[in-house]
Structure formats: C-alpha cells, structure tokens
Structure 1
C-alpha cells in the first residue's frame, strides 16, 4: 500500500498532550475489499498507545461517519498538542490531488468521487490551522486504483502524489510515483502488516531517535526488503520539518512512556539502519578504498556481494560507475542505459496526469559521437542540431539537441502512448508545451522542471476542462473549471482545490458567488436559484448553515437561522400578501411559539406546528375583539372564550373552525 506521512511542527510547549486518530477501511461495498488495512491500523493504534497517545480507533467508515470522526477528533485538539492521524484503506489520485475513499464510495466521474471522498489537500490545510506543536499524518492508501479496476477511467492507475510541503512539514510516500508499494514479500510472508507499516512500527520503538531519522531508516529498510523479491520500492521523503520529535524520549529525557521491552529486535533494526547509511556513503565515493572499508566493517553485510563485484569491476575499468544503491535512486524509475548513437538517451518516466516531465538523469550520459579535430585546431563551440532516436525502454525523441542534451523544440513519444511536444532545456520539459495522454487527457501550457507551471489548459477525456494557473502540477491561483455536465467554476484555487473567492454555476442553473474552502462553498456567499429565489448568508461544506436571508421569487422573504439548508430556530417571514410571522421555525415551516401578523391588522400569538396554528393561542382582531382557545391545523377547535371590544365575553365551542350551535 502507498503510504504518505506529513509532519508539521511548531514551537514546543512545556507539556503537550498526545492525541491520535487511527482509521482502517477494509470492508468496501462497491469496490475491491482490502485485507490488511484494518490490521495496519490496529498495529499503529497499539504502538501509539504504548507511546503515550490517547488513541481514537475507527474501522470501516462510511462517508458520513468518516467526516464525523475527523470533525470530532479535531474538536478535541488544542493549540500546542502533539497529534497523529493514520489512515489505511483505498485512495485515488485525481487532478485535484489525493482522495481518501470511504467504504461506501461509488461514482462514475472524478467530479462525484471528489465530493464523496476526503481530500488530502483539505486535510493538510486543516492541520495547519489547528496550530498544533507537531502533527504527523500517515496515509496508507491502496496499491492500485480500485475504480480503474472496475473499468472506470477515474484518477491515476496507481499511486498517490503528494502536495508541496510548507515549513514545518514532512511528507513521505512508501513508494515513488508510479511504483507499487508491497503488502507482503510473497506467499511465504506470514506478517499480517504491509511492508512499510511493519518497518515503521519497528523503528518507532527506538528511544531518542527523531522522526526525521526514523523516516530515513524506514526508507532504506523498505527498499532493501523489496529488492529481495526483485521489486522496486523506495519511499520518497520531502522534508522541511523542524524540531526533534521522537515517539520515545532518549536517555536523560522525561519519558511519557517507555518503549516495549523487545530490545533485541529494536537493536537489530537500529544496526540495519546504520549499515544502510554507511552503504550510502560508499556509493557516493565509488572507489576501491570505500568498498574495502565497507567489507572490513561488515564482512557478512547485506551488500557484501555487491561490494566484491564493484571492486572487481573498478580494478578492470577504474572510471566505471559499477555499483548502485539497491534501494533506488529517487522518486522516479531509474533511467535506462544511454544508447551510443543518441544524445541524452536517459529516458524520463512515463507521465500520468497530473504528470511530471522527465526527471534530470541521475547517471552520466554519453556525448554524441564526434570526429576529433586536428591537434592544432581550437575546440569548436557546441552547436544545436536535430536528432531522432529510440530509447531502450521504447520511448522515442525527435527534435533539437545541444551537445548531448535535449534542448530546443522537440517531440517525446512515450512507450505507453503519452506524447509531449514543445520546448526542452537540459533534458527537461521547460517552457511552453503540449502533453497528450494515452487516456485522452490533454494539457497545453507552461512546464518548469518536471511539473506543470504557470498558465495552462487541461482538457480531460470526459470533456471536463480547466484553464488557469498551475503550481507544481496542481491548480493554484485563478482558474476556470468547466464540467461536461454543464457546471462551471471560476475563482481561486489552492493545492488543487477551490479555496477563496469564486463563482460556481451548477448543472441545474443555480449559481453561487462567495467563499469556498476544500472544494465546497464555505463562509459568506449568495446563491441565485434557477427558479428566481436568492439566498444570502453562511455556508458550511456547501450547505446553508447559520444566519442568512432567503428571498422567494414570489416576493416572500425569510430572515433568520438555517440548519442543514432549512429554516430552523428564530426567524422572520415576510409574505408578499402583507402578512408577517416572527418566531420559531423547524424544517422550513413555522413550528413552536410565534406571532403571525395578518395584512388586515389581525394578529395571532401562540403555538404553531407544521406551519399552522396548533395548540393554545390568542387571536387579536383589528376591531379590538380577541379569541382565547385551542387551535388545530390552523382553525379553532373545542371550547374558547371570545372577548368583545365592548367588554362583553362569551364562551364558544368550535368544531374544525365552525361554531357549534348552543
């Protein structure tokens, strides 16, 4: 399973509470069920409890229960607390970012899926606003997109992509982009937890180790384990964290909890991590002395055979790069070998939207073959030329080259059917270009480095279309998203989600203008309904909630409080007929105690139910008379007393509003 970890840290208070929310979703109803998400969640919950966290554990959450669980947990969090959120279950990557799927997820479009899921970008924004001392978010999402498994072209085929991290944050993926994270190491692997989770839990137990180091140790250990079954999986770490948070304090620190007593296992894990770090240094040196130093320190080490082979290769070819880190070179697949006849033939990874451009090659590339000039001639300047060549992985390039680099204008055809046409610089997509994806998606606009950057237009295969600003592959800034369904949004985006001021036109022709947060109307705004009604007031997650005013097309107007989109609580209803009501409302109708002022100057004071007078009440007539008695469904019922303006009184009995004969 893919796993993402985000760490946010702030200034440390003297005493911080430790709170954890742990969610494991296995029992999916409409997509493939999972086997290990619940076990991973329980393992994390148990370990966090040992480390002194107050743990809230949830299993198999529906959309509604998921939202409630997150909301209730955040209600408990106070400024300065240490919190951890762990999620294990299905996830899907859409153009707007990673989405966490509840067990009742279903839908045929990204538009629907995004509205029934929990967006990771929104989760991260909420965590920043909580102002915790430290927050760790661990997202253990599905290996392969469960929606594509059902034949629906929604989201990337596998994997999740992380948003940018701010200062005080760390982001970890259990596998790089388009790598598949392992649940197990094969049929003989009896461990109940996924590869990443088991390594994380084991390394959490080491006293005094900062989480930043724990993450690096897990990164190395996971890759080493994956390599034993010929699988490529190297967790990706993006780190701008601050502070030295540790699950268990080291010697001399005041411990909230002691680590579990399996010290022998912990020592073994720590020794393996040290060997991994030593081997990384050997690879950077890449000389016989470095490999000899490794073998002297670890004669029976994990990399001993590789070290011997590297020494033999260096002895025969001293300039060769002969060893590689079996844990991989970075977040993208390792580049292919450079063909002798082509410039910069290191292949970029295949791109799937939102798709990064090829990464800068990690290995040296061969120069173009050239005829040696006479000894007396000066070196000629490098000239831009045209080249066309195929790469070993099946990709093809046709375009300008400068020296041994793709530079200028060209076309890059990926083996999977994706195609980029545009500007290159130093082997990167850089400048203006067009990317046509095999799934029918198309992007045209700016590229910088490996990401969509600047102004651009993204047209999806389902006819959805976004035009506006991009930052690091995500919608960021001003933009317009037009849906094939007829909906359209124009306004501000943050991290791929509607955030800030905007205007949304819905398929039913309703129109909302106002504030958005986490892709939904939130805060003050105005809704213009297709039938002519207009609402002005507070919105919460796309629903009318709180104070507001609703003007009907027929001239009626309500001012008061809304709950779940309906009149509820105290309010005033002004009717086009001249009538006015002031009092209690429930589910859009008069209910409770109130006063109804009639256009003819009559007035009723008393109880209401289902929009009509019900129960004890007093009807004041414009001529000075008044009636005191019971009302049912808006009419007088039973015995009552009529007080006349001249001071006389008479007891009268009514049946369904009709006076009974004496």
Structure 2
C-alpha cells in the first residue's frame, strides 16, 4: 500500500513537470471582443473570437485577461489592469475584435455603449495610441492585433452629425500605425479598407490566427502566414496589414526541432525549403522588383500569393476602369419593414444611373416635398455608401412638417449585375439593385 502511494506521488510530479509546457518569460495579454452594441446591430462573431483567442494564448503561456461586451467604464478598467501587468512583463499582447473607427488619422476602439452625436463624443471611445503606450514597458516584445476594420454604422452617424466639411476626417477602415521598436502591429486588413465578419464561428482573421499562433515558428513567420491565409480565404479581397519592428528572432512556443536520419542517397532538393529568409529580405526592401524576384524564385511556395498582393498594391491601379464596369442603368427597390417598436414600413421603386462609377437616382424634383435623391461613388471593389437625401411629403409616415429634409446612408455592395445594401441606422431597411 505504501509503495503504491509513493508511485502515485512520483507519477503526479513527473506529469506536472514534464507534461506542462514551461515558459521562461512573463507574458500578459488582454483580449476584448465586443458584440452587443446598444445602438447598432448585434455582431455574432466577436465574443467567440475573444474566447477562442484567449484560450490559445493561455496555452502559449500568457496570463490572459479576457473580457467581452464592455462599456466605456469596463474597457477603462480592463486597460488599467493590463497596463499594470505590462509593467513587469517580458511580452505583452493586446487583441481587440470589432467596431473601431479613425478620425483625423487617430484610431479609436468602440465600447458597446458608445454614442456619437458629434466630435466631442470621441472621448467616449478608447484611443489606440493609449493602448500602445500602456504596452511599452514590456521588456522583450509587444504585439497589437486589431480585427476591427469592418464597416461601422457609428462612424456613419458621426459623419452625418458633423457635416460634409468635417466628415472627410472620418476615414474608411483604420489609419496605419507606425510600430515602435520591439513591436508587431497587425490589422485584419489594409489601412482605409474594410474586413469581413465571416459566416462561421470566427472572423477570417481570427480563424487564421488560431490556426497558426501555437506553431513552433518564429513570430514574424507566424504573422506573415496569417496574412497569407486570410488573403487566400477571402478570395484576394482582404489583405492584412503587418508591421514588424523586431531585431532577432522570437518564438512563442519554441523552435521546431527536426532530427534527420542519414540517408544513403541525397534527398531531392525541395524548392520551397527556405523561402522565409528571402521573403524577409524582400519585405525589408518593399519594392515591386523585390517581390517580383521572390515570386520568380518561389512561384509555388508559402508567400507566393502574398507577393502577388504586394506587387498589386505597389502597382498604380486603373481605378477609373474598375469603377466603369458598373456604368449603366440600375433598377432599384427600397423596402423598410415595420418594427415592433412602432416604426412604419413602406416600399417604392427607383431608377438610377452609374456614370464613371458615380451612382445617382432621383424620385420627384429634388428639393420639393416628397422628392428624394440617391448619390454615391462605387469603389473598385464594388462597395458604396449611397446617401439618400429627401424632403417629407404630404403622406410622410413620420408626420413630419411638409418639406422637412432628412438623410440616410445605405451601405451597399455591387457585384456583377446585382447590388444590395442596408441602411446604416435601421437594419429593417434594405435596397436591392438590378442592372438593366
């Protein structure tokens, strides 16, 4: 009996020491996912993204703070905890998923209780440069991940409230951050672009992050592979932006050790055995010629698709030609369903024209009671913010005084001969277009 107890004791010690990965450095992470916004439609993925990322980081030795659906007070409290932890950390990571916006070149993260009536309400948000400052005390490595560059209805509300002249300060997507030394900054997509939410449990970016973050690879290789997988998974529509300011190599989960058995005959040379070092050099040079050289050397290897994307980004696009593919006459139908809260429903048809990528439609004589105009520019990828400007008529469902001006924005996507969009402030209002 005594011998069995000793055996059990030593077996427990063995597995606790050798079965659990050991990490010599002190790692901290803050993971935030905001899904349930008070004033814009619910997002299905961010809570799942945060939970799954937090679990993966814990397995990689991070002391992880995970929080979801945070209001401004909750985000401030989480950031205070994270800032204190980063002061004694070797590695600090911040992972944020969902609504964010840029104003005058500054990026902001959006709590679930955010309300943006004017520029002063930006104080209700969290500045990304404050997050970077909180991470700076970490000794070895700082990692900032923003899976948050999707279309943001709150930004559209702010645009309408501050007027046309100042709305140019509100950019599409997020602004680029220059990463300080010893830091990795990764966006879900390029600055000024928007990212997909995805149809599964996780967004395309988080899906690729979870697939790679626990690999026994150098951290730069991991993030480059994440970018390549997102680009492929989104059919070349979403290319993550990556900024690396590192000296030397860093491994989150140790370097992969391979023991080779001597062969009697030389093994065939693998043309994709070592594209990583060449890719690092091409990325450091960051010219079209450097990426073309990498593609010529490694046309079927890991970074081939990413090299093609970089070449395309460095090639001046014929944006006018891309937009003109939508030129022509478009028939549209706008439908607003009634809501349980008492908002009335209605529908009507309209005819619009696209010329040089610019959409315009009129209903009635502009400026007169009961008239409406629809205007917007279709981007090369088919996205367009269609502004509806109208003046209430005699049968106005909201009983507004005759001739009252109103404005709405429809976040629209054109694809081939079809287009569809949703009103930014009312999900029950939709528009569908068909090219004649």
Rounded Cα–Cα distance in structure 2 between residues aligned with 1:393 and 1:325 = 30
CA RMSD of aligned residues (A): 4.3
Counterpart pick for 1:174 among 171, 188, 193: 188
Partner of 1:143: 150
Rounded Cα–Cα distance in structure 2 between residues aligned with 1:22 and 1:43 = 10
Rounded Cα–Cα distance in structure 2 between residues aligned with 1:151 and 1:97 = 15
Rounded Cα–Cα distance in structure 2 between residues aligned with 1:74 and 1:55 = 13
Counterpart pick for 1:74 among 76, 80, 83: 83
Rounded Cα–Cα distance in structure 1 between residues aligned with 2:220 and 2:54 = 20
Deviations 1:449-470, CA, capped at 9 Å, x for gaps = xxxxxxxxxxxxxxxxxxxxxx
Matches within 5 A, 1:257-276: none
| Displacement of 1:126 | 2.5
Partner of 1:41: 50
Rounded Cα–Cα distance in structure 2 between residues aligned with 1:332 and 1:23 = 31
What is the DSSP-based 3-state SS (H/G/I as helix, E as strand, rest coil) of the residue aligned with 2:153? coil
Seen in structure 2, the aligned counterparts of structure 1 residues 243 and 148 have a Cα distance that, compared at 3 Å, is same
Counterpart pick for 2:238 among 233, 238, 243: 233
Rounded Cα–Cα distance in structure 2 between residues aligned with 1:97 and 1:330 = 28
Kept in 1: contact 2:181–2:246 (CA 8 A): yes
What is the DSSP-based 3-state SS (H/G/I as helix, E as strand, rest coil) of the residue aligned with 2:36? coil
Q: Which moved more, 1:244-253 or 1:48-57?
A: 244-253
Kept in 1: contact 2:94–2:144 (CA 8 A): yes
Partner of 1:134: 141
Kept in 2: contact 1:86–1:139 (CA 8 A): yes
Partner of 1:100: 109
| Displacement of 1:75 | 2.0
Q: Larger % of strand: which?
A: 1
Matches within 5 A, 1:258-297: 284-285=292-293, 290=296, 294=299
Partner of 1:245: 250
Q: Larger % of helix: which?
A: 2
Seen in structure 2, the aligned counterparts of structure 1 residues 248 and 336 have a Cα distance that, compared at 3 Å, is same
Seen in structure 2, the aligned counterparts of structure 1 residues 220 and 240 have a Cα distance that, compared at 3 Å, is same
Deviations 1:295-336, CA, capped at 9 Å, x for gaps = 7xx8xx998xxxxxxxxxxxxxxxxxxxx8685236958533
Counterpart pick for 2:170 among 132, 156, 159: 156
Partner of 1:109: 118
Matches within 5 A, 1:503-582: none
Deviations 1:619-643, CA, capped at 9 Å, x for gaps = xxxxxxxxxxxxxxxxxxxxxxxxx
Kept in 2: contact 1:31–1:150 (CA 8 A): no
Q: Which moved more, 1:158-167 or 1:103-112?
A: 158-167
| Displacement of 1:285 | 4.2
Partner of 1:329: 310
Counterpart pick for 1:201 among 203, 210, 226: 210
Partner of 1:31: 40
Rounded Cα–Cα distance in structure 2 between residues aligned with 1:120 and 1:77 = 16
Matches within 5 A, 1:460-471: none
What is the DSSP-based 3-state SS (H/G/I as helix, E as strand, rest coil) of the residue aligned with 1:328? helix
Rounded Cα–Cα distance in structure 2 between residues aligned with 1:219 and 1:172 = 9
Counterpart pick for 1:122 among 127, 130, 152: 130
| Displacement of 1:47 | 0.2
| Displacement of 1:205 | 1.9
| Displacement of 1:104 | 0.6
Partner of 1:526: none
Deviations 1:281-301, CA, capped at 9 Å, x for gaps = 9972499xx59x857xx8xx9
| Displacement of 1:101 | 0.9
| Displacement of 1:251 | 4.2
Matches within 5 A, 1:492-507: none
Seen in structure 2, the aligned counterparts of structure 1 residues 36 and 330 have a Cα distance that, compared at 3 Å, is farther
Larger Rg: 1
Higher RCO, 1 vs 2 (CA within 8 Å, ≥6 residues apart):
2
Partner of 1:429: none
| Displacement of 1:163 | 2.4
Rounded Cα–Cα distance in structure 2 between residues aligned with 1:202 and 1:194 = 12
Partner of 2:346: none
Rounded Cα–Cα distance in structure 2 between residues aligned with 1:71 and 1:302 = 39
| Displacement of 1:214 | 1.0
Seen in structure 2, the aligned counterparts of structure 1 residues 278 and 326 have a Cα distance that, compared at 3 Å, is same
| Displacement of 1:96 | 4.8
Partner of 2:31: 22
Q: Could you list the runs of 5+ residues in structure 1 that have no partner in the other structure?
A: 1-13, 254-270, 304-323, 340-344, 348-391, 396-414, 418-438, 440-662
Deviations 1:246-305, CA, capped at 9 Å, x for gaps = 22112469xxxxxxxxxxxxxxxxx9x979979989972499xx59x857xx8xx998xx
Seen in structure 2, the aligned counterparts of structure 1 residues 249 and 40 have a Cα distance that, compared at 3 Å, is same
Kept in 2: contact 1:23–1:88 (CA 8 A): yes
State the TM-score, normalizing by the size of structure 2: 0.55
Rounded Cα–Cα distance in structure 2 between residues aligned with 1:161 and 1:127 = 19
Matches within 5 A, 1:1-16: 15-16=24-25
Seen in structure 2, the aligned counterparts of structure 1 residues 279 and 393 have a Cα distance that, compared at 3 Å, is farther
Rounded Cα–Cα distance in structure 2 between residues aligned with 1:239 and 1:330 = 19
